[in-house]
Amino acid sequence: MSIAPIVSWTTKGKVWIDPKRELEYDIQQGAPARRYPTSAIICYQEPLIRLAIKRFHARRADRLLGSDFYEFVHRGTRIGIIRSGVGAPMAALILEWLIVRGVKRVINAGIAGSLQYKGINPGDLVLCTKAVRNEGTSYHYQRPSKYSYPSKSILKRIESVLREQDIPYHKGPTISIDGPYQYTIKECMRLRKERVLTSDMEASAIFAVAKFREVKAAAIFTISDLATKDFEWNPQFHSEGLTIGFGNLFKVCVEALAI
């Protein structure tokens, strides 16, 4: 049996395509050489972009990989926000493009499904402490392992803001998966027993890229769908709770980066 390509991948040696060289090429072709903020939010849902525009008059400053990059200022800190396409490969590419343009601190913010069923509601915030690597992208940046981890300093800063703002939250692991429609109930039960709180698609890759590039990243979610005790799916994408959750999520991200 041949070795699985993703497991045998190595990060040793010179890469074929380098983000710095790609940026140099883009500038040579006429792209503006912009000075990016050092702090940014990567999100996946439009309500967070609308909140940036409404609350801080965020202006579109650039366009990366088909996504608009917005910028605003809060308490003297320039903060960027971009809506990535869903999934680890696109989120990792967006993060690479942000890093090469000067971003040093990133918060990954979006919705997540709850794997637990007790004491968790639509719109609740979940601070991610580690991510099960059930996607493929992270393995191009880190050796195989079960988890990837956020930056301790940003994680601590986010938690401080949650406490200062008196916003209730949960804290624990997520599983980042490429194929959410292939979850079996048996697998979900196992994850629940391991106390994995949520399911998302990007966090483990975001953490891996950030560690590899020596920048800081963390993740925080708002709950968009629930699971019953027997894993009946309970979607809450249009609930009032989720609308409130988006507001709290955005507020926490902004305050955590405005230092």
Average pLDDT of the residues of the chain: 93
Mean of the pLDDT values across residues 224-244? 94
**Assigned domain for 236 exists:** yes
Question: pLDDT at position 1, please?
Answer: 39
Question: pLDDT at position 9, please?
Answer: 62
Give which of 249, 258, 94 is closest to 170, Cα–Cα: 249
- Per DSSP, the residues of the chain read -PPPHHHH----S--SS-HHHHHHHHHHTT-------SEEEEE-SHHHHHHHHHHH--EEEEEETTEEEEEEEETTEEEEEEEPPSSHHHHHHHHHHHHHTT--EEEEEEEEEES--SS--TT-EEEEEEEEEESSGGGGTS-S-SEE---HHHHHHHHHHHHHTT--EEEEEEEEES-GGG--HHHHHHHHHTT--EEESSHHHHHHHHHHHT-EEEEEEEEEEEE-TT--EEE-TT-HHHHHHHHHHHHHHHHHH--
Helix 19-28 × helix 88-100 angle, to 10°: 70
**Assigned domain for 170 exists:** yes
Say what percent of the chain tops pLDDT 90. Answer: 88
Question: pLDDT at position 35, please?
Answer: 86
Say what percent of the chain tops pLDDT 70. Answer: 96
Give pLDDT tens digits for 24-42: 999 999 888 888 999 999 9
Question: pLDDT at position 42, please?
Answer: 98
Mean of the pLDDT values across residues 137-153? 94
**Assigned domain for 148 exists:** yes
**Assigned domain for 27 exists:** no
**Assigned domain for 19 exists:** no
Collect all residues with Cβ–Cβ distance below 8 Å to 48 and sequence separation of at least 6: 41, 81, 83, 109, 110, 246, 249, 250
Collect all residues with Cβ–Cβ distance below 8 Å to 214 and sequence separation of at least 6: none
| Cα gap 33→203, rounded to integer Å | 29
Q: What's the total number of domains in the chain?
A: 1
Domain of residue 64, residue span: 34-257
**What's the token pair of residue 47?**
């309500």
pLDDT band at 7 (very low <50, low <70, confident <90, very high): low
Question: pLDDT at position 3, please?
Answer: 52
Give pLDDT tens digits for 77-132: 999 999 999 999 999 999 999 999 999 999 999 999 999 999 999 999 999 999 99
Instruction: Kindly tell me if the per-residue pLDDT of 23 is higher than 50.
Output: yes
For the full predicted model, state whether its pTM sits above 0.85.
Answer: yes
**Assigned domain for 21 exists:** no
Question: pLDDT at position 34, please?
Answer: 84
**Burial profile 223-237: b = 16 or more Cβ within 10 angstroms, e = fewer:** bbbbbeeebeeeebe
pLDDT band at 252 (very low <50, low <70, confident <90, very high): very high
Mean of the pLDDT values across residues 5-18? 72
Give pLDDT tens digits for 39-82: 999 999 999 999 999 999 999 999 999 999 999 999 999 999 99
**Assigned domain for 107 exists:** yes
Give pLDDT tens digits for 156-179: 999 999 999 999 999 999 999 999
Q: Return the sign of the alpha-carbon dihedral for residues 246, 258, 151, 97.
A: positive
Q: What is the CATH number of the domain that holds 98?
A: 3.40.50.1580
| Cα gap 124→111, rounded to integer Å | 10
| Cα gap 225→123, rounded to integer Å | 9
**Assigned domain for 24 exists:** no
Mean of the pLDDT values across residues 169-190? 94
Give pLDDT tens digits for 191-214: 999 999 999 999 999 999 999 999
